[in-house]
């Protein structure tokens, strides 16, 4: 059941002419967690601020449950926002920070302090109760900020890149904590992030915001495998975009003629970009008998983000292929075969126009190339 629903939200900041949000719409299920992905300046934080009531939208509606909260001030909305900076109150102890949240809901001071301890327990931060925010590490501060936000007992918890300032270890700990919290108290979460791995670690579904519009929603794996445009593919970390022509059966490009899923045969003939996730490609010995291969020459071995990757020149196209850890590094200049599985081939219109689309499950009935038909029209 949908708990948070944002309908066609439009937002323009005073004194500016350009719209920050251009009809953004999304829905989050009760107890679910949606990751809101998007490049810097796409309007992610503005959307969260509009949901929390800090910005007044020019049009559209924000609904929590069955009621509209668009006209309510921030303190009367059943949502809490955890900012990128934890914003703990510096003059109060950790316990009082959390207790204040409960007092704001009407609890008496003594009861609030007692209940606050339970929320600190929830985030494994009871030992911090008597400390001042200035003495906490970044991870500890965010734990307390989470406890404080949960103590306000919001129906929807909004997280605005809360872990982006943390080191990788602390960030992993916070992801684990968030998963535990989800299992324990089942909060409904909408989390802004620009980190795909964070979205994968925490969220059930993801939405991509580009230029103030939600352009795609769905499970993250589905978004990665079948993005709506080459731009979206690149934003989601995809490294391979190959321009070519589709003739009803196969995509013809510098890679050669690659047959495409039967579902795509309904696509009109024309110019298309073939999108290939580097994780879906693999290396094989040259002249191997494996199907779905193209032959090329290794031009570079790199480690973007720590993962081993080989770049292979195939007819002038530089294909990026992620290797498994431990897999032997091919020599630069060596001839190799690149395996391009049929399931990894995804076509999008070459005009790079993104239309709003919900990506169905990858293995569902409609998980075929036919989803792209509206985009090619």
Instruction: Please report, as ranges, the residues that interact with another protein according to CB under 8 A.
Output: 52-54, 73-76, 79-81, 83, 85, 87, 89-91, 100-101, 103-105, 132, 134, 148-149, 151-152
Nearer to another protein, 151 or 208 (CB): 151
Nearer to another protein, 27 or 82 (CB): 82
Nearer to another protein, 48 or 298 (CB): 48
DSSP calls for 186-238: --EEEEEES-HHHHHHH-SEEEEEETTEEEEEE-HHHHHHS-SSHHHHHHTT-
Q: What is the DSSP letter of 77?
A: S
Nearer to another protein, 149 or 190 (CB): 149
Contact 308, 329 (CB under 8 A): yes
User: What token pair was written down for 30?
Assistant: 């009760």
Nearest-angstrom CA–CA distance, 319 and 36: 29
Closest approach of Cβ 36 to another protein, in Å?
A: 17
Residue 243: exposure state from Cβ atoms within 10 A (0-12, 13-18, ≥19): middle
Nearer to another protein, 140 or 369 (CB): 140
Closest approach of Cβ 58 to another protein, in Å?
A: 21
Nearer to another protein, 50 or 255 (CB): 50
Closest approach of Cβ 32 to another protein, in Å?
A: 21
Closest approach of Cβ 9 to another protein, in Å?
A: 18
Residue owning tokens 């009367």: 76
User: What token pair was written down for 114?
Assistant: 């007692």
Nearer to another protein, 81 or 375 (CB): 81
Where is 348: in which H helix or E strand?
A: strand 346-349
- φ and ψ of 19, to 5 deg: -80, 135
Closest approach of Cβ 53 to another protein, in Å?
A: 8
Residue 127: exposure state from Cβ atoms within 10 A (0-12, 13-18, ≥19): exposed
Nearer to another protein, 157 or 344 (CB): 157
Closest approach of Cβ 90 to another protein, in Å?
A: 7
Closest approach of Cβ 109 to another protein, in Å?
A: 11
Closest approach of Cβ 52 to another protein, in Å?
A: 5
Beta-bridge partner residues of 309:
302, 322
Where is 256: in which H helix or E strand?
A: strand 256-259
3-state secondary structure 80-109: EEECCCCCCCCCCCHHHHHHHHHHHCCCCH
DSSP calls for 324-346: PTTPPPPPTT-EEEEE--GGG-E
């Amino acid at each position: 059941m949908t708990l948070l629903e944002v309908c066609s939200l439009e937002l323009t900041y005073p004194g500016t002419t350009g719209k920050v949000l251009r009809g953004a719409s999304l829905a989050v299920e009760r107890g679910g967690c949606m990751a809101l992905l998007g490049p810097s300046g796409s309007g992610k934080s503005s959307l969260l601020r509009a949901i929390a009531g800090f910005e007044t939208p020019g049009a559209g509606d924000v609904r929590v449950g069955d009621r509209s909260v668009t006209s309510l001030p921030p303190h009367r909305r059943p949502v809490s926002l955890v900012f990128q900076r934890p914003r703990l109150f510096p003059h109060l102890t950790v316990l009082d920070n959390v207790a204040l949240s409960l007092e704001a809901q009407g609890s008496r001071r003594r009861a609030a302090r007692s209940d606050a301890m339970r929320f600190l327990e929830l985030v494994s931060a009871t030992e911090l109760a008597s400390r001042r925010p200035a003495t906490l590490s970044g991870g500890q501060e965010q734990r307390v900020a989470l406890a404080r936000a949960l103590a306000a007992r919001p129906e929807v918890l909004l997280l605005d890149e809360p872990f982006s300032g943390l080191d990788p270890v602390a960030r992993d700990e916070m992801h684990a904590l968030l998963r535990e919290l989800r299992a324990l108290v089942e909060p409904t979460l909408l989390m802004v992030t620009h980190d795909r791995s964070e979205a994968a670690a925490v969220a059930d579904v993801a939405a991509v915001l580009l230029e103030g519009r939600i352009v795609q929603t769905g499970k993250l794996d589905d978004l990665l495998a079948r993005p709506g445009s080459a731009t979206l593919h690149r934003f989601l970390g995809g490294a391979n975009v190959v321009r070519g022509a589709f003739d009803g059966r196969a995509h013809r490009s510098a890679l050669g003629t690659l047959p495409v899923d039967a579902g795509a045969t309904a696509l009109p003939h024309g110019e298309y970009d073939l999108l290939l996730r580097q994780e879906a490609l693999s290396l094989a010995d040259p002249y191997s008998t494996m199907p779905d291969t193209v032959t090329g020459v290794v031009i570079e071995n790199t480690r973007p983000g720590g993962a081993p990757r080989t770049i292979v020149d195939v007819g002038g196209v530089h294909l990026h292929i992620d290797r498994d850890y431990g897999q032997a590094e091919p020599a630069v200049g060596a001839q190799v075969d690149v395996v391009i599985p049929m399931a990894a081939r995804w076509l999008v219109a070459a005009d790079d126009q993104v239309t709003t689309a919900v990506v169905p499950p990858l293995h569902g009935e409609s998980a075929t190339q036919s989803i792209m038909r509206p985009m090619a029209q």
